[in-house]
Amino acid sequence: MALSANTNRNLFGLTALSAWVGFGLSFVIETFGWVKVKATDPITPDSQFGHVGNYADGLAGAGHRLTDLLSYFTTWSQIVVGIVFTLLWLKPTREEKWLKPALVDALIMITITGIVYNALIGPFYPPQGLNKLSSPIEHTLTPVLAVVVFLVAGPRGWFSLRSMKQALVLPIIYIIYTLIRGAFINQYPYDFLDVVSHGYMYVTIFILGILTFAILIMWLYMIIDRRLNRKIVVPS
C-alpha cells in the first residue's frame, strides 16, 4: 500500500534533517577545533591535512580545518542528500529534470559513504571525542534513512540510464578534485586515495573498483525502483 503524501513528505524531511544535523555537528566541531587528533593517526598519516592537529587551535585554524572537512566524500554526500531531500520535503511532487540525477547521486553517494566507512574505516579507526556524536549520524543513520525512505516513499521512476550516467559526474569531479589537490599538497583525505604512499596504479585500480561498485548499486536501485513502480495502482 502506498503511503500518504503527508507521510512521504515527513519522511523526506526526516532524512534531510539527519543529513544536515550530521554535517552541522561536524562543521561546528571543525570550526572550533574541538577534536584533537595526533599527527600519527593511521587514517591521516604523516601530518595529512585536517584532523591531525597541525593547524592553529580554535578559530584561528578554522579556515584550514573547514577546507579539509569540505574535501571529504562523506561531507559531499551529506550535503547532496540534505539538498535533495529538503527540496522533496518542500514539494514532494516536484519533477525538475536536474533533480532526478541529483536524487540518484544522493542515494549512490550516501550508500558508498555508509558501506566504505563501516567496512573499511570505522571498525579499525573509531571516531574520537565529539566525533562520536557526528560520525554515527553521517555514516550510519543518514545512509540507512536515505535508502529506506527511498524504498518506501520514492519518488518512483526517477532512475533511468540517462539519470544514472549524469549521476556519475559529481563523484568523478570529486575524484579529480581530490587527486589534483593532493598533487599540490601531497596529502589526501583517505589512505586508499593516497598516491604518495601507494602510487597511481593502486589508487586508479581502487577508484575503478569503487566506480564499478557504484554502477552496480545504481542498477540494483533502478531494478528495485521499477518493480516497486509496477505495484503502484492508479485509481480509475
Q: Say if 49 falls within a structural domain.
A: yes
DSSP-derived 3-state class of residue 12: helix
Q: State the chain's mean pLDDT as an integer.
A: 88
Residue 236 lies in a domain: no
Residue 172's pLDDT is 95
SS3 content of the chain, % helix, strand, coil (to 5): 70, 0, 30
Lowest model confidence (mean pLDDT) among 44-58, 80-94, 100-114, 196-210: 44-58
105 within a domain of the structure (yes/no): yes
Question: Minimum mean pLDDT among 28-32, 116-120, 194-198, 229-233: which range?
Answer: 229-233
Own/partner pairs, 4-8, CB within 8 angstroms, 24+ separation: 5/92, 5/93, 7/153, 8/92, 8/153, 8/154
The model scores a pTM over 0.85 = yes
**Within-domain flag for 235:** no
- Between residues 22 and 3, the one the model is more confident about: 22
- C-alpha pair distances (Å), 52 with each of 38, 48, 114, 154: 5, 7, 23, 40
What pLDDT score does 204 carry? 96
The answer to whether residue 61 sits within a structural domain is yes
Say what the pLDDT of residue 36 is: 73
User: What range defines the domain where residue 142 resides?
Assistant: 5-230
**Residue 111 within any structural domain of the chain:** yes
Q: Please tell me the total count of domains within the chain.
A: 1
pLDDT at 38: 55
Helix axes 62-69, 5-32, angle to 10 degrees: 140
